[in-house]
Amino acid sequence: MGLIPEINDFKFFTELQVRYEETDSMSVVYYGKYFVFFEVARTEYIKKLGFNYINIEKNGLYFVVAESNCTYIAPARFDDTIRIYTKVEYMKNSSFNFIYLITKINDDNSESKIVNGFTVLVCVNKNTFKPERIPAYLRNAINDYEKFS
C-alpha cells in the first residue's frame, strides 16, 4: 500500500469497542478480525451516503472483494475503543477501493495508529457474477462525498 495515511486524509470514521471474542490467546485482536472491522466501516460508509447493501442487492448487484491488504502496526486489545477511518480512493467502471486507517483511542483521548489497509471491490451482477458498471446513484454519491475531480 505504501505510505500510512494520516487521520486528516479522511472525512469518515466509525468506532467500535473490541469484544473479548475478537481477541486471541495473546489477548490481542486476532489478525483476521481487522478484515471484519474493514467490512463494518464499508457498510457504515455506504449508510452515511444514504444507501445500504440490502437495497443494492435487491437491485441485482453485489460488491465482491477482489483484493484486500492489511498492515499491522500495533495491537489492539479487549475493551479498547478503536476508530476505523474509511474513504474511497478511486473508482473505475466496475470497481472501486476503500482505504482504511484504524486507530486506538488512548486514555488521554489521543489516537495511536494500529492498522492500515485497503480493499478493492467489484460490482457484479447478482445472478451471473459478471462485472457491471457501478450504479450512477452510488457513483455520484461517492464523487460528491469524496470531491473527486
| Degrees to nearest 5, angle at CA 70 with 95 and 22 | 115
Decide if 2 is inside a domain. no
Task: Look at residue 51 and tell me if it is in a domain.
Answer: yes
Q: What is the CATH number of the domain that holds 66?
A: 3.10.129.10
Q: C-alpha distances in angstroms, 140 versus 23, 39, 103, 126, 134?
A: 38, 21, 29, 21, 10
Is residue 21 situated within a structural domain?
A: yes
pLDDT tens digit sequence for 2-11: 578 899 999 9
Q: How confident is the model at residue 149 (pLDDT cuts 50, 70, 90)?
A: low
The torsion angles phi and psi of 114, rounded to 5 degrees, stand at -125, -25
pLDDT per residue as tens digits for the range 54-69? 999 999 999 999 999 9
Residue 137 lies in a domain: yes
Report yes or no on 66 lying in a domain.
Answer: yes
Residue 76, domain member (yes or no):
yes
Residue 104 lies in a domain: yes
The residue ranges of DSSP E strands in 73-127, in sequence order, are: 81-91, 95-105, 111-125
pLDDT tens per residue across span 84-103: 999 999 999 999 999 999 99
Instruction: Show the domain range for 79.
Output: 7-146
**How many separate domains does the chain show?**
1
Its pTM stands at 0.94
Please tell me the predicted confidence (pLDDT) of residue 1.
47
- Name residue, grid cell 450504479: 135
> Helix or strand or coil: residue 74?
coil
Using only the alpha carbons of the chain, give its radius of gyration.
16
Residue/partner pairs of 23-27 with CB below 8 Å, 24 or more apart: 23/77, 23/78, 27/77, 27/78
Query: Would you state the pLDDT for residue 3?
Result: 72
In a domain, 115, yes or no: yes
